[in-house]
Amino acid sequence: MRCIIGAPKGTKDILPEVIYKWHFVEEIVRSLSLIFGFKEIRTPVFENTSLFKRSVGDETDVVQKEMYTFIDKGGRSVTLRPEGTAGVVRSFIENSLFNQVLPLKFFYINTFYRYENPQAGRYREFHQFGAEIFGSSSPQSDVEAILFAKSFFDKLGIKNLLLIINSIGCHSCKERYSKSLKDFFAPKEENLCYRCKQRIANNPFRVLDCKKQNCQEISKNAPSIVNFLCSECIVHFDLVRKLLDSFGIAYVVDPKAVRGLDYYTRTVFEFVSGELGSQNSVCGGGRYDNLVEQMGGPALPALGFAVGLERLFIVANQQHIDITKPQSCDIYIASATEDCRITAMEMSFLLRLNKNIICEYDISNKNLKSQIKYADKICAKFLLIIGEKEKKMNLGIVKNMETKETFKVKLLPREEFMDGIISVCC
């Protein structure tokens, strides 16, 4: 059946039958964050458009073509968040969190929005678990972030992820590299595409990403970032690698790994999976040492990463990671007559509210047989039958649906009833 109005393109409902998987993953995020000292932060779903333009970068694809931007009734341009870092950085500065003891570590589980054509592992609304660390420039914090992500995957039982790392240099390295790229591209400007001609001036790194044939050809011989790293950046990257080595974390250095968001500096990393189809990245992140200052805050180093949860589930399913479905009904209370039905209802509330037992009873006037069938279908562990004769004798029949064993319990007094149920069912 088709609803008159369907869900927007690229969005998905998460139905009750699978929500427990999300709860499971979210619970791992929360418990792990607690242990690792990352505190949850919640920021708005929408921000002022300029926030993303300035932080993510005006020339990036995310800003250029993927943002859900609209004018609100007050004439303000606002945008549904396409990523998590910008909002957290904004909040960090706006709430003067830099005055607290540093470093500070945050995590979030949020929805994000990108106007893209959906495909495997890509949606217009998607979920990310992300983490950010503010106030440390040391390689330890890079590895702290990487190990946090790694521990999360390990805890879930996800295997065979490849960790890719690279250094794209600090502000001054990028500056020098940028200048070199400009010098390289300038004489060839005529052969570049319209967009790239503009990019040379604004953001020459993006020319390297352009997929127009001509631009790609020209980019082939462009200088590589590797040759522009300053000694500090080289030392930093070496230390990151040494730390990873000493922890026995396998990784691959890929000099071409460049994150598509402008704010990244120095270490960038990514966890990729071979079980994902074309969108093979489950986690991406890196350092953004200039962003806080650039957004009006103090000059503080920072870094972070984000895990795409939809993609994570694809990998988890591929690897048959089993997440046990929680019990949906402990006891179903069936009733034979109208009068018994009321008793069933009373008993349900007693058990629910006093004993935390997941308890169901008939709310649709089914006959006894149908009620029992229903109890079976919802996988009730126990069945309590309130029968007419038994009720007169102050008794109810409890049946273990699996073993078919039956027991009798007193209905009154209430305390005795509840104790009786507990002793039989727990």
Please identify, using beta-carbon distances, which residue of 191 and 239 lies nearer to RNA: 191
The SS3 call for residue 313 is helix
Minimum distance from residue 404 beta carbon to RNA (Å): 4
Q: How far apart are CA 226 and CA 218, in angstroms?
A: 19
Minimum distance from residue 390 beta carbon to RNA (Å): 5
* Residue 126 in the binding site for RNA (CB under 7 A): yes
Which amino acid appears at position 135 of this protein? Answer: G
Q: Give the interface segment with RNA, choosing from 134-142, 183-191, 317-325, 383-391 (CB under 7 A).
A: 383-391
Q: How far apart are CA 292 and CA 182, in angstroms?
A: 26
Among candidates 280, 13, 28, which has minimal Cα distance to 125?
A: 13
Classify strands 77-80 and 46-48 as parallel, antiparallel or unpaired.
Answer: antiparallel
Please identify, using beta-carbon distances, which residue of 26 and 116 lies nearer to RNA: 116
Please identify, using beta-carbon distances, which residue of 102 and 147 lies nearer to RNA: 147
Chain position carrying tokens 């002793």: 423
Q: Is the peptide bond before 44 cis (omega within 30 degrees of 0)?
A: no
Q: How far apart are CA 191 and CA 200, in angstroms?
A: 12
Instruction: Provide the residue count of the chain.
Output: 426
Q: How far apart are CA 43 and CA 45, in angstroms?
A: 7
Site for RNA in 48-67 (CB under 7 A): 60-62, 66
Q: How far apart are CA 152 and CA 281, in angstroms?
A: 15
In sequence order, what DSSP letters do the residues of 391-426 get, joined into one string? Answer: HHTTEEEEEETTT--EEEEE-SSHHHHHHHHHHHH-
Please identify, using beta-carbon distances, which residue of 120 and 235 lies nearer to RNA: 120
* Residue 280 in the binding site for RNA (CB under 7 A): yes
* Residue 190 in the binding site for RNA (CB under 7 A): no
- Enclosing H/E stretch for 403: none
Residue pair 246/147 in contact (Cβ under 8 Å)? The answer is: no
| Site track 68-87 with RNA (rule: CB under 7 A), x = hit | ---------------x----
Residue pair 108/84 in contact (Cβ under 8 Å)? The answer is: yes
Binding-site size for RNA (CB under 7 A) equals 68
* Residue 404 in the binding site for RNA (CB under 7 A): yes
Burial class (CB in 10 A: 0-12, 13-18, 19+), 153: buried
* Residue 224 in the binding site for RNA (CB under 7 A): no
H helices of 38-170, where? 49-55, 61-65, 85-94, 139-156
| Site track 338-377 with RNA (rule: CB under 7 A), x = hit | ----------------------------xxxxx-xxx-xx
Q: Give the interface segment with RNA, choosing from 154-162, 170-178, 353-361, 379-387 (CB under 7 A).
A: 379-387
Please identify, using beta-carbon distances, which residue of 114 and 174 lies nearer to RNA: 114
Question: 147, 321, 345, 401: which one contacts RNA (CB under 7 A)?
Answer: 401
Q: Is the dihedral of CA 334, 338, 343, 349 positive or negative?
A: positive
Q: Give the interface segment with RNA, choosing from 163-171, 288-296, 302-310, 354-362 (CB under 7 A).
A: 302-310
Among candidates 315, 263, 332, 384, which has minimal Cα distance to 159?
A: 315
Question: 232, 254, 293, 390: which one contacts RNA (CB under 7 A)?
Answer: 390
Please identify, using beta-carbon distances, which residue of 11 and 91 lies nearer to RNA: 11
Q: Give the interface segment with RNA, choosing from 32-40, 68-76, 113-121, 193-201 (CB under 7 A).
A: 113-121
Minimum distance from residue 335 beta carbon to RNA (Å): 10
Please identify, using beta-carbon distances, which residue of 299 and 402 lies nearer to RNA: 402
**Rounded to the nearest 5 degrees, what angle is found at the Cα of 112, between the Cα atoms of 315 and 320?**
15
Question: 138, 191, 209, 323: which one contacts RNA (CB under 7 A)?
Answer: 209
Minimum distance from residue 388 beta carbon to RNA (Å): 4
Residue pair 314/275 in contact (Cβ under 8 Å)? The answer is: yes
Binding site for RNA (CB under 7 A): 1-2, 6-7, 9-11, 60-62, 66, 83, 114, 116-123, 126, 128, 209-211, 258-261, 270, 277-285, 306-308, 310-311, 336, 366-370, 372-374, 376-377, 383, 385, 387-390, 397, 399, 401-402, 404, 406
